[in-house]
A and B are shown apart, each in its own frame.
Chain A
Amino acid sequence: MPRGRSLVTAIPYGWLLLFFLVPFLFVLQISFSEVEIASPPYRALIERTEDVLNIALNIGNYSYIFSDPLYFDAYLNSLYMALVTTLTCLVVGYPIAYTIARAPEAKRNTLLMLVMLPFWTSFLVRVYAWMGILDNEGLLNKALMALGLIDAPLQLMHTQLSVQIVMVYAYLPFMILPLFSNLVKLDGRLLEAAADLGCKPWKTFLKVTLPLSKNGVIAGSMLVFIPAVGEFVIPELVGTPESLMIGKVLWMEFFDNNNWPMAASVTIVMLALLILPIIYLHKREEKALARAAQR
């Protein structure tokens, strides 16, 4: 690469190395440390006393994570919640993405913007909006009681269900967008051919549309699943203390218990769970871009 180009590349490259990649080395380092009443509240791994260099790797945090069911349950619950969110987003989002992709070109841009608009407005506000609906005294309970469907308010708020609803709500645009950009490229003639040959609509969908939109389904699912595993705000505001999610455990270790080494260990285990999906998603996106560049 010519010198000028190397210099230009070095600016964003250096920024990301320093502020995104290198920090993980510190997380790894501190995850092997012990909590200490000091500022910062952990013991350095390498200490020099007189002429002795002491390197102390403490694996206690990790063995604690694997032995205490609190952590195990939180990881399991997070994976479960993320999976349910992803599948629900797929079922809800697919028909919307499909309809927009098949809509006349003049309407497409407007419809797509209507999907994106909630994404642009504040995440926190969107979560808060649901608090007023799901509350015991909230609108959903009032409506159900007015309709005579229930006699006493249901406990909707601070349940697994409330977390599920709000997570689907918050992550839906991340599913619809990649699905749309995949489905919009689908050749309509294939569907017409299937129909001409006497294929029923739902069969055409299963045999033609769905297999051809595989890339969009995978991209959308990853975009929802990966961040959903570590979600903190939604379980904190509408969730229940009985079934914790791991993002909240990390937050509590750090902010409430002031146990930085434990928070770091929780992070490393979460990274280990998510690193393969992230790499897989990245590889797919790069391939799609390379194909787009060739065209």
Chain B
Amino acid sequence: MNGNNISGFGKLSLGLGFTFLYAPILILIIYSFNASKLVSVWAGFSLHWYGELFRDDAVISSFGLSLKIALFSSAMSVVLGTIAGLVLARFGPFKGKSLFAGMITAPMVMPEVIVGLSMLLLFVQMQQWLGFPAERGVLTIWIGHVTLCMAYVTVVIRSRLVEMDRSVEEAAMDLGARPLKIFFLITLPIIAPAIASGFLLAFTLSLDDLVITAFLSGPGSTTLPQLIFSRVRLGLNPEINALATITVLAVATLVIVANRVMVKAEQRRARLAAAG
């Protein structure tokens, strides 16, 4: 349409939209440096609540647990999600494919209370029949997170595989390369950026999950979102502001850096394609 510029109406809607999206987060960050114990009364700049936060053993240990679970969950969901994406994009029609594709879509939109409760009931039955898993805890949370996160990873990988130019793969096939070799030497490097963003997405989803975790956790396995939730339920708490600020800044930095790297990689590929 109108070349390089955003219209007045466009500027207005973006301005209002981004104010709505970012004002609450900015206010939260500003008030994390508040000296007062009352969250809404400004009493001067202070790092007091950050100090409190780092001395809070419950926060530190639940954060450690959350990181551990997020790391293992995202690793597993990347493996399962890449396979599932490949199956859906490349294996052609097979019996039960639409059920499979349906089981990928459903966990992403299904209310989390439903997913959490149903998984819990499965584990309870399994324990009665098989004696495994012996108790709710890290293992059951991990299974829950993997099931949720692999769906997201699959969607990312699948759409990359569908968009991707297949000529190199076809050339390799014509030259007699075996499917497994083609996958590891050609397909995998091409979809590597999608795998990386799938991993990042899975990691942040797992790190943030509250509802599924609440159903699947046992005594002694309190994750960071569970701890935040139990404190926030009692009302505003300046220590949580400090914690929230750190999370927001860490995630924002990670996402912006990853986005930069991926855009650069994309540009390089486009240049190479144009040159070749």
Contact = CB atoms under 8 A, between A and B. Distances in A.
A124 B104 contact: no
Interface in B55-106: 80-81, 83-84, 86-87, 89, 91, 94, 96, 98, 100-106
Chief secondary structure at chain B's binding surface:
helix
Contact of B87 (A12, A128, A226): A12
Interface of A is mostly: helix
B21 interface: yes
Interface string A117-136: 11011111110111111010
Contact of A124 (B22, B84, B232, B252): B232
Contacts of A27: 117-118, 121
B28 A124 contact: no
Interface in A251-295: 251, 254-255, 260, 263-264, 267, 270-271, 274, 278-279, 281-282, 285-286, 289, 292-293
Interface in A1-51: 1, 4-5, 8-9, 11-13, 15-24, 26-27, 30, 40
B248 A274 contact: no
Contacts of A229: 111
Interface residues on B, range: 35 or more
Interface stretch (B9-17, B168-176, B188-196): B9-17
Interface residues of A, number: 96
Contacts of A115: 17, 21
A92 B208 CA distance: 26
B111 A230 contact: yes
Given A9-B94, A169-B24, A267-B118, A15 B244 contact: no
Interface string B1-31: 1111111011101100110111011011001
Contact of B102 (A122, A135, A282): A282
B259 interface: yes
Contact of A26 (B1, B125, B263): B125
B100 A13 contact: yes
Contacts of A30: 121
Contacts of A11: 80, 83
